[in-house]
Amino acid sequence: MSSGNRRERRAAATAPRSTVEHRYGSPVERRALVPAVLGAIVLLAGVALIDTAGFSWIRMSAAVLAFITAVLVWQAGHRVLVVVPIVLGVLWNPVVPFPFSGEPWRIGQVVGAAVLVVTGFLSKGRRQD
C-alpha cells in the first residue's frame, strides 16, 4: 500500500513555486503603453487636421494623453523617460500654442507618435498586488 501523503509531497516538489505568477502571468506591467498608443493614434489622426480649427482638439487630446503617460512612467520608476512625454505635452499644449505649421509640424506629429509609443513600451514596472 502506498501512502497518499508521499505522492502529494512529490507532486508539490515538482509544482511551480508561485501559483499566482503562473496563473496570472508575469508580474511586470506596462501601464504607460495604453495612453501612449492612444496618444500616438491621436497624433497620427491629427496629421490630416493641421491648419484647421479642429486641430486644437487634437492638440488638447495629445497633450493630456502625454501627461497621463508621464505620470504612469513616473510611477513605474523610470525618471529619465519622464522627460519625453512632458516635452510632448508642452509642445502640443493648446493653452500656449507654439506657432508651428506646415511640413515640419506634420513630421513632428509622426515622430512624436513614435517616440511616445517607444516611451510607453520601455517603461515597465512591477505589478502591485
Please state, rounded to an integer, the average pLDDT across all residues of the chain: 84
Banded model confidence at residue 128, pLDDT cuts 50, 70, 90: low
- Cβ(47)–Cβ(27) below 8 Å: no
- Does this model's pTM top 0.85? My answer is no
Banded model confidence at residue 117, pLDDT cuts 50, 70, 90: very high
Q: 25-46, pLDDT tens digit by residue?
A: 667 788 889 999 999 999 999 9
111-125 burial, b for 16+ CB within 10 Å, e for fewer? ebbebbbebbebbbb
Beta bridge partners of 29: 125
| pLDDT: which is higher, 106 or 20 | 106
**Based on the number of CB atoms within 10 Å of its own CB, is 54 exposed (0-12), middle (13-18) or buried (19 or more)?**
exposed
Phi then psi dihedrals of residue 93, to 5 deg: -70, 140
pLDDT in the model for residue 20: 54
Q: 40-66, pLDDT tens digit by residue?
A: 999 999 998 888 888 889 999 999 999
User: CA-CA distance, 30 to 43, in Å (whole number)?
Assistant: 21
Contacts of residue 37, defined as CB under 8 A and 6 or more positions apart, other chains included, come to 117, 120
Q: Which amino acid is at 69?
A: T
Q: 4-23, pLDDT tens digit by residue?
A: 677 776 766 665 555 555 56
